[in-house]
Amino acid sequence: MFGVGDVAALHNAIVTAHDAVWFGKLGQTLSQGRVDLLNQQIAKKTPTFLYLVKGNRRKSTAYRADLLAVTREKPGEAALIPSYYAEKDLLQYMKAWMKLGRIESIEMSEMDRLKALNSVFPISETLVRSSSGYFLVHESSAIF
C-alpha cells in the first residue's frame, strides 16, 4: 500500500534493538475509554495482544504481538517508531499507537478462537463479512 516492504520485519528490527516498537493505526481512532481499558488490562498483567491480518479473502497471513501500551498521542520514544512513518509522511495520519513486542506469524486457524466483541462469528468469518478495519476480540473457549 505505501511501498514500505515487510512491515513486520521493519517493526521487529526495532524490537530486537529496543525490546519494543510503536505501531501506528491509520483511520478511525480508538475511544479514550478503549485505550484506558486496554492499558488497565495490560497493567493487570492480563495477556493482551494485537492481531494483524495481511492479504485478501483467498490468501491471508495472520500475526500476533504482545500489546504493551496504547495511546492516542504520538509517542515520545522516537527510537521506537520505524523510520518509514516519517519517510512516507504517515505520522500525521496515525490516530492511535500500540507499543508492541515481537510480531510473530501465526496460523490463520488460530484466529478461529477469537470473536469480535459484537459478533457471534469467529473473527476469521467476521473479517470476510465486515469492511471494518479493526475489531476488539476475546478468546472463545469453544472451538469452531
Q: Beta-carbon neighbour count of residue 35 at 10 Å? A: 19
Domain extents for the chain? 7-106, 107-144
Dihedral sign for Cα atoms in the order 110, 50, 66, 9: positive
CA distances, 82 to each of 33, 39, 110, 125 (Å)? 27, 22, 28, 31
Higher pLDDT, 5 or 118: 5
Q: What is the mean pLDDT of residues 93-110?
A: 91
Per-residue pLDDT of 26-36, as tens digits, reads: 888 889 998 99
pLDDT score of 25 more than 50: yes
Grid cell locating 7: 512491515
Q: What is the mean pLDDT of residues 65-83?
A: 95
Residue with cell 528490527: 13
Please answer whether residues 95 and 42 qualify as being in contact, where contact means their C-beta atoms are separated by less than 8 angstroms.
no
pLDDT score of 45 more than 50: yes
Claim: this prediction has a pTM higher than 0.85? no
Q: What is the mean pLDDT of residues 104-127?
A: 70
- Distance between CA 99 and CA 88 in Å, rounded? 20
pLDDT classification of 10: cutoffs 50, 70, 90? very high
DSSP label at residue 75? P
SS3 content of the chain, % helix, strand, coil (to 5): 35, 30, 40
Residue with cell 517493526: 11
pLDDT of residue 140: 46
